[in-house]
Each structure stands twice: as structure tokens, then as C-alpha cells.
């Protein structure tokens, strides 16, 4: 059985934050004790108190933790996730496309995509079952949303609903309710940092290769095909009417590949989306 933990970031647009991001980290249930113990040891060694939050954002650094220890903790958590076979699924959409949508709706649609892709991973690759745990959704009726996912599933573009047959439990959590939530926050935060015009490009180059390694992908030769597996880009490029927004998507892929190509041991990901089975498409 697998666990998926999800969260959102880049909720508000800015000069650097051009895309809304919703992501999920998944791993086998039996890996949870090992991940938990390893993060507990990282926290103790790098001077985190039991009540301190271990997150990616620099504003979250506890007063008693030095900057160097803060950076080291995040690096070790990323390496821990890779070592334990964690996989990353992330959905991105340009803020200008969703700016007139109900905020609750676009968050729920983004969560739908990541949760739906988790169900597809369980069905198509893992041949297993899963638990979905969302970080507390900033919407008016998060528990109705979770109840609907379990009882009704996803709403397809046609209006038809499809059950998430592989996911057997939906629940909500928050930071510091488990060490696994810290792992989720740090992987998602690393991706956000890398695509948001990073100030420290050397750090971004170091991060992005590891994050792409974690994305659910198909590897052909030296290329990681992550689109519509670990990377869900919406809307499809062919449906973007604005040339300026389309150019920003192109610039995003070029930026990611530039960061990857700048490391000799990196592999580039394909910027072109692969075809998606229609049964996996839903509103949003």
C-alpha cells in the first residue's frame, strides 16, 4: 500500500510566482517508520526542538537553528526521500488562467489532478492500493471535498464521475502532525524555489536534478518523460489562446532544462506533454 501527502504553494501571483502549484509526495506505507525515524534524527542533530516546524520556506526557520543547519536539514530530507523511493507528482497552471475562477474551485481542481494521477499510478504501475492525506485545504468545505472524492471520485470534462477505486482512505493533516509532512513540504518547496526565478542558481541546480529524479517518469535513453506522469501541466498548450502566457510556459520549460543541463550528471525532461487517457481527464 502507498501513502500520498499533498499540499499547495504559490497561491498568490507575483513577479516571480507566475504559476499556481499543487503537489504530492508518495511512498510505500512500510517506508513510513524509516522516514519518520530518519527525520527525527535530522531534527535532533540540527537543533530543532520538538515543536519547531521543519519546512522549506526560509521564513519558517526556528530561532534556535542556524542558517547552515537549516539548509543542511532540507538537503538531508531530499536525499532521504530519494533513498526511500519516494515519488513526486506536481500540477502547475498559470495564475492568469485561473485569476477569475473561484479560489476554492481551482484549488480543488488542482488537487483532483494530483489525486487522480495517484490513483492512475496505483492502477497502472504499482498494482496496489493507497491512502490520500491532504494538508489542510484552504477551502470552505474541505471535509465535503474529501468525502466526495471517496464516495463520488472525479468529475470528468463530460460531467461523468469516475470512482477512485484504488484509494481506500482520504484524510487531512497539517505540518508537525507527522515528519512525513515535512518531507512533502520540502520536496514541494524545492520545486517551487527552482521555478520561481531562484536567487541562488547553484542551489537550484542542485535541487532540480533530485526533484526530477523523484517525479514519476518514463526514462528513455537520457531523457526523463515526466509530463502527465509526475508533471501535470494545465491547460494543454494547444488550448492556450494568449501568446504571452504560452511564451511563459515555454520559458518555464526552458528554465527547468537549463538548470538540469548545467549539471553534467543531469538529465533533461521533455517539454512536450504525452497523450493522456481520456478517463484520466477531468474538469479544470
**What does residue 56 show for φ and ψ, rounded to 5 degrees?**
-80, -45
* Local structure of residue 156 (DSSP, 8 states): P
> In this predicted structure, which of 4-18, 137-151, 216-230, 261-275 has the lowest mean pLDDT?
261-275
- Rounded Cα gap, residues 101 and 120, in angstroms: 27
Q: What is the pLDDT of residue 157?
A: 72
- Rounded Cα gap, residues 218 and 225, in angstroms: 5
- Rounded Cα gap, residues 168 and 172, in angstroms: 14
- Rounded Cα gap, residues 77 and 49, in angstroms: 17
Is the dihedral angle over the CA atoms 103, 106, 112, 115 positive or is it negative? negative
pTM, 2 dp:
0.91
Specify whether the CB–CB gap between 180 and 36 falls below 8 A.
Answer: yes
Element (H, E) at 22: strand 19-28
Residue 113 CA to chain centroid, in angstroms?
11
* Count of domains for the chain: 1
pLDDT band at residue 219, thresholds of 50, 70 and 90? confident
Q: Which residues pair with 99 in a beta bridge?
A: none
Domain membership of residue 122 as a residue range:
2-280
Q: What is the pLDDT of residue 262?
A: 61
pLDDT tens-digit profile of 235-278? 988 899 999 999 999 999 999 988 888 654 444 444 443 333 33
pLDDT band at residue 111, thresholds of 50, 70 and 90? very high
Q: What is the pLDDT of residue 224?
A: 78
What is the helix, strand, coil percentage profile of the chain, to 5? Answer: 45, 20, 35
- Rounded Cα gap, residues 9 and 41, in angstroms: 27
Specify whether the CB–CB gap between 237 and 228 falls below 8 A.
Answer: no
Mean pLDDT in residue range 92-114: 94
- Rounded Cα gap, residues 260 and 214, in angstroms: 14
Mean pLDDT in residue range 94-115: 93
- Rounded Cα gap, residues 195 and 259, in angstroms: 10
Report the CATH number at residue 231: 3.30.420.10
Q: What is the pLDDT of residue 148?
A: 95
Specify whether the CB–CB gap between 3 and 31 falls below 8 A.
Answer: no
Q: What is the pLDDT of residue 49?
A: 97
Note if the bond before 235 is cis, omega within 30 degrees.
yes
pLDDT greater than 70 at residue 209: yes
% of the chain with per-residue pLDDT over 70: 92
pLDDT band at residue 95, thresholds of 50, 70 and 90? very high
Alpha-helix residue ranges (DSSP H) falling in 5-160: 32-45, 67-83, 95-98, 103-121, 142-151
pLDDT tens-digit profile of 22-77? 999 999 999 999 999 999 999 999 999 999 999 999 999 999 999 999 999 999 99
Specify whether the CB–CB gap between 276 and 228 falls below 8 A.
Answer: yes
Amino acid at each position: 500500500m502507498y501513502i500520498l501527502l499533498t499540499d499547495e504553494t504559490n497561491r498568490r501571483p507575483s513577479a516571480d510566482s507566475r504559476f499556481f502549484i499543487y503537489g504530492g509526495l508518495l511512498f510505500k506505507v512500510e517506508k513510513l517508520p524509516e522516514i519518520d525515524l530518519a527525520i527525527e534524527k535530522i531534527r535532533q542533530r540540527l537543533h530543532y526542538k520538538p515543536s519547531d516546524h521543519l519546512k522549506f520556506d526560509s521564513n519558517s526557520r526556528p530561532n534556535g537553528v542556524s542558517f547552515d543547519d537549516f539548509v543542511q536539514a532540507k538537503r538531508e530530507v531530499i536525499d532521504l526521500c530519494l533513498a526511500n523511493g519516494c515519488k513526486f507528482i506536481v500540477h502547475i497552471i498559470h495564475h492568469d488562467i485561473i485569476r477569475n475562477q473561484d479560489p476554492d474551485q481551482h484549488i480543488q481542481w488542482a488537487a483532483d489532478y494530483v489525486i487522480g494521477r495517484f490513483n492512475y499510478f496505483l492502477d497502472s504501475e504499482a498494482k496496489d492500493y493507497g491512502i490520500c492525506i491532504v494538508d489542510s485545504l484552504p477551502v470552505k468545505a474541505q471535509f465535503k471535498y474529501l468525502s466526495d472524492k471517496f464516495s463520488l471520485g472525479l468529475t470528468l470534462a463530460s460531467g461523468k464521475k469516475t470512482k477512485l477505486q484504488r484509494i481506500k482512505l482520504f484524510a487531512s493533516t497539517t505540518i508537525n502532525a507527522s515528519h512525513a509532512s515535512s518531507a512533502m513540504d520540502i520536496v514541494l518547496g524545492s520545486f517551487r524555489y527552482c521555478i520561481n526565478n531562484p536567487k541562488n542558481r547553484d542551489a537550484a541546480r542542485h535541487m532540480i536534478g533530485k526533484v526530477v529524479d523523484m517525479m514519476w517518469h518514463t526514462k528513455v535513453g537520457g531523457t526523463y518523460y515526466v509530463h502527465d506522469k509526475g508533471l501535470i501541466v494545465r491547460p494543454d498548450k494547444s488550448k492556450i489562446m494568449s501568446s504571452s502566457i504560452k511564451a511563459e510556459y515555454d520559458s518555464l520549460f526552458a528554465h527547468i532544462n537549463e538548470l538540469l543541463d548545467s549539471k553534467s550528471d543531469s538529465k533533461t525532461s521533455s517539454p512536450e506533454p504525452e497523450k493522456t487517457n481520456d478517463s484520466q481527464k477531468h474538469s479544470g
